[in-house]
């Protein structure tokens, strides 16, 4: 996925390396502000806070700290060393968007693959509020992120999947009907080739309307029932006289 690097942030806001700790979980945050305000805070050398990533409302993913380094995001230094911090551009008046969830899910899936994590809310996906007293990550649906990240194909949005499912359902229903319809037409051709006056009345298998055998039998089929002596030579009118 496309990730925009906007670092480096001031050295006072992160530590190089992880003190030999390995990454075992992700801490979930929300910015509780618009993205520009969050970035400005992380760029302020006096704030002593940061995060590895910010996921924007429009689906952009911004990176401020290298994953090999320790961002100051969890409020607990050991937790910082063992985790990746992901901020989401959302607040009480700015709920997380579908685009944000899609991008966050893809980011989580890639991180999980890199570090061998099973994405499990409460175990490897930890809300900030589980580490220190805070309202963060607010309205963020961590379970939804985990669910979308573990879907078979996270290239598509939820709306994409709904549309694809409708197409699939239509094709699944249409394909057998196509063959049944063709079979009905072929049988009509075969029967009329032997019994020209056979009664082929009944419902059309596709429309449910009365089956119009004469309309369905192709010109080639009608040709098969016409004596050779009465057929016009290809490309010119018949020269047969009465």
What is the distance of C-alpha 139 from the center of its chain?
22
Q: Which residue is it, tokens 């670092």? A: 7
Rounded CA Rg of the chain: 33
Return d(Cα 184, Cα 206) in angstroms, integer. Answer: 10
Return d(Cα 199, Cα 211) in angstroms, integer. Answer: 11
pLDDT at 173: 63
pLDDT at 224: 45
Give the residue from 27, 32, 52 showing the smallest Cα distance to 139: 32
Q: Which residues contact 20 (CB under 8 A, 6 or more apart)?
A: none
Return d(Cα 63, Cα 208) in angstroms, integer. Answer: 59
Q: List, as one string, the DSSP characters of 19-75.
A: TT----EEEEEE-SS-HHHHHHHHH-TTT----SEEE-TTS-EEE-S-TTSEES-SS
pLDDT at 221: 43
Instruction: Provide the token pair at 210.
Output: 């009365």
Return d(Cα 233, Cα 199) in angstroms, integer. Answer: 31
Q: pLDDT tens track of the chain, all 242 residues?
A: 899 999 999 999 999 999 999 999 999 999 999 999 999 999 999 999 999 999 999 999 999 999 999 999 999 999 999 999 999 999 999 999 999 999 999 999 999 999 999 999 999 999 999 999 999 999 999 999 999 998 844 455 667 767 777 776 766 666 666 777 777 777 778 777 777 777 777 787 677 777 776 654 444 444 444 444 444 444 444 333 33
Q: What number of residues does the chain have?
A: 242
- DSSP state, residue 230: G
Q: Residue 84's beta-bridge partner residues?
A: 26
Q: Which helix (H) or strand (E) holds 121?
A: none
pLDDT at 52: 98
Strand order in the sheet with 4-5: 4-5, 61-63, 53-55, 83-88, 25-30, 125-127
Give the chain's largest Cα–Cα span. 107
Return d(Cα 223, Cα 43) in angstroms, integer. Answer: 83
- DSSP state, residue 133: S
pLDDT at 39: 97
pLDDT at 95: 97
Instruction: Provide the token pair at 52.
Output: 């590895």
From residue 231, alpha-carbon distances to 213, 228, 239, 240 in Å are 22, 5, 10, 9
Return d(Cα 133, Cα 153) in angstroms, integer. Answer: 36
Return d(Cα 38, Cα 53) in angstroms, integer. Answer: 11
pLDDT at 151: 82
């Amino acid at each position: 996925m496309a990730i925009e690097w906007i670092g480096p942030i001031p050295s006072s806001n992160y530590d190089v390396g992880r003190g030999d700790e390995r990454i075992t979980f992700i801490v979930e945050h929300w910015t509780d502000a618009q993205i520009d305000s969050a970035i400005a805070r992380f760029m302020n050398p006096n704030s002593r806070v940061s995060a590895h990533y910010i996921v924007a409302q429009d689906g952009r993913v911004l990176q401020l700290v290298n994953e090999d380094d320790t961002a100051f995001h969890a409020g607990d230094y050991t937790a910082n060393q063992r985790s990746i911090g992901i901020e989401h551009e959302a607040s009480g008046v700015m709920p997380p968007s579908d685009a944000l969830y899609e991008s966050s899910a893809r980011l989580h899936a890639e991180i999980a693959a890199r570090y061998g994590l099973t994405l499990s809310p409460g175990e490897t996906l930890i809300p900030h509020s589980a580490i220190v007293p805070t309202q963060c990550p607010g309205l963020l649906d961590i379970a939804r992120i985990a669910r979308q990240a573990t879907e078979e194909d996270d290239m598509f949005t939820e709306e994409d999947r709904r549309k694809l499912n409708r197409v699939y359902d239509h094709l699944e229903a249409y394909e057998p009907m196509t063959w049944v319809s063709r079979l009905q037409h072929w049988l009509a051709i075969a029967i009329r080739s032997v019994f020209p006056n056979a009664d082929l009345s009944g419902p059309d298998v596709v429309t449910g309307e009365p089956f119009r055998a004469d309309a369905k039998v192709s010109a080639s089929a009608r040709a098969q029932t016409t004596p050779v002596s009465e057929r016009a030579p290809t490309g010119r009118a018949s020269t047969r006289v009465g």
